[in-house]
Amino acid sequence: MGTALVTGASAGLGLEFAWQLATARHDVVLVARDEERLTRLARQLEAAAGVRAEVLPADLTVPEDVERVAERLRTDERPVGLLVNNAGLGLNQHFVEGDLDAELRALDLMVRSVMVLSHAAAGAMVARGRGAILNVGSVAGLIASGTYSAHKAWVRTFTEALAVELKDTGVTATVVCPGFTHTEFHERGRIDTAHYPEIGWLQAEDVVATALADVRRGVVISTPSLRYKAASALLRVAPRSAVRAFGGYRRALLDEAIEGRDGA
Ligand code: NAP
């Protein structure tokens, strides 16, 4: 896979991707907004794993920044063999009364940037006859819980379509669909996790190890852990009315969380 470019490398799953890839002797390109965190990480990776770590600060809601990252993916100097589209966030607001600008930024980050970067990477990789694209989706893409579900459903369908198009080119596309994972995601999104069942939680280390193993095997849909494999299989066959009812339950929990947050 050569050099790997990871978006959202400053925290959570992206940070873990950077560590596991560097430990497997891949040079890395680290993308996120927080340049200080990325620079610290790059130094640690270089010292601990002896790889080359480039820092590419970018706000992936800003088209010019996305284009700079796309340019890095197109270049043949130290070519990127693996793109990990990982950056993302949880909005924790209802759509109707929520802030539309925040919604549009989330769409830019989790849909638009994934499309632009995949386009840049796939073009360059097909020309070289090898490479891999790994998009981070979510099990939430199978339910109906806010625009986040819609974005992650897009990531999943888009990746499958990309995999179909890339067949026999030497380039693969994989979407990893984790469930709740211990990262900074919920704290940053001010998402109350008190009611989340303990059994639902995954470790970033396991999610990333599964995703990278599946990329190496050319798996298209990667679902870390047996329990989420079972839950995803159930959600795929469940009547959509039941899936929407579950979305309604999540909506009620969000109501409570917003009330608690705004009242605090
Ligand atoms: P996290 O710990 O909050 O990390 C999010 C990363 O995204 C950070 O590195 C952040 O870096 C970066 N990021 C956020 N906004 C950005 C922007 N505008 N431009 C560039 N980078 C940006 O969250 P995580 O859990 O690791 O999330 C990673 C991915 O996993 C996301 O796509 C998320 O939807 C998905 N996921 C998470 C869970 C979960 O339970 N944690 C479950 C399923 C799927 P900066 O702040 O430095 O920019």
Q: In this structure, what CATH number is given to the domain that contains residue 162?
A: 3.40.50.720
For the stretch 56-106, pLDDT in tens is 999 999 999 999 999 999 999 999 999 999 999 999 899 999 999 999 999
Q: What angle do CA 140, 143, 144 make, to 5 degrees?
A: 110
Question: CB of 69 within 8 A of CB of 7?
Answer: yes
Backbone angles phi, psi at 20, to 5 degrees: -70, -35
| 88 alpha carbon – ligand 1 mean position (Å) | 4
CA distance 31 to 117: 12
Q: Pick the closest to residue 163 from 172, 155, 150 (CA basis).
A: 172
The band of 262, judged by pLDDT with boundaries at 50, 70 and 90, is low
Active site residues: 148, 152
* Domain ranges, residue 81: 3-263
Q: Is 145 in the pocket of ligand 1 (CB under 6 A)?
A: no
- Of 24, 224, 16, 183, give the one whose Cα is nearest residue 90: 183
Q: Could you give the CA distance from residue 86 to residue 93 in angstroms, rounded to a whole number?
A: 21
Best of 6, 86, 154, 177 for a ligand 1 pocket test (most atoms within 8 Å of beta carbon): 86
Count of structural domains within the chain: 1
Q: pTM, whole model, 2 decimals?
A: 0.96
Neighbours of 75 (CB within 10 A): 11
111-132 pLDDT, tens digit each: 999 999 999 999 999 999 999 9
Place of tokens 């924790």: 92
CB of 41 shorter than 6 A to ligand 1: no
Inter-residue contact 162 to 173 (CB < 8 Å): yes
